[in-house]
Structure 1
């Protein structure tokens, strides 16, 4: 099994959820995040003070899929989240050694 973690614009969450949901994946974990990368910070003036903000609001999505579905799910995420602009996000894929469903104690492939 593989864990897919992607960091995307919050506005792309519904499109990603719908596209992978049609494929049959329903479980995912979401985390609100602040991040910086290739995007330049933005400078604002607030009550006479200049404020530079280098961090942007993002959403981190985590899901675990079987090895044979990884490329397909990554492609679905890219198609749903891509705008072509800097800051579209990143996708990370890593190995999962094992998984245990707490409710039933099932081990292994618990999808």
Structure 2
């Protein structure tokens, strides 16, 4: 409650100070009118260009969606290739082990002969 009281006192002091000086009052009025004019111009711009901005936003969203689909397809393809490489590597390792076993068997067979 004390903060609210001090805030009210501060605002009142500022208002009294601005109201007491003619040049400050004029400056506040000029700045207020300028802010109002700029707000009206912004509103007019938004109103006049709303459809164009909405269509650009839709195009951008569609473009982003296409990019995400492309990324998803690329990730899927990379995953498939990685699985294929893993399977091929396992097959190559298995074939190399079989070849090594055959060579060992042939070596033992030659030693026995």
TM-score, normalised with respect to structure 1: 0.17
Over alpha carbons, which structure has the higher Rg?
A: 2
- Higher RCO (CA < 8 A, seq sep 6+): 1
Structure number with higher strand proportion: 1
Structure number with higher helix proportion: 2
TM-score, normalised with respect to structure 2: 0.17
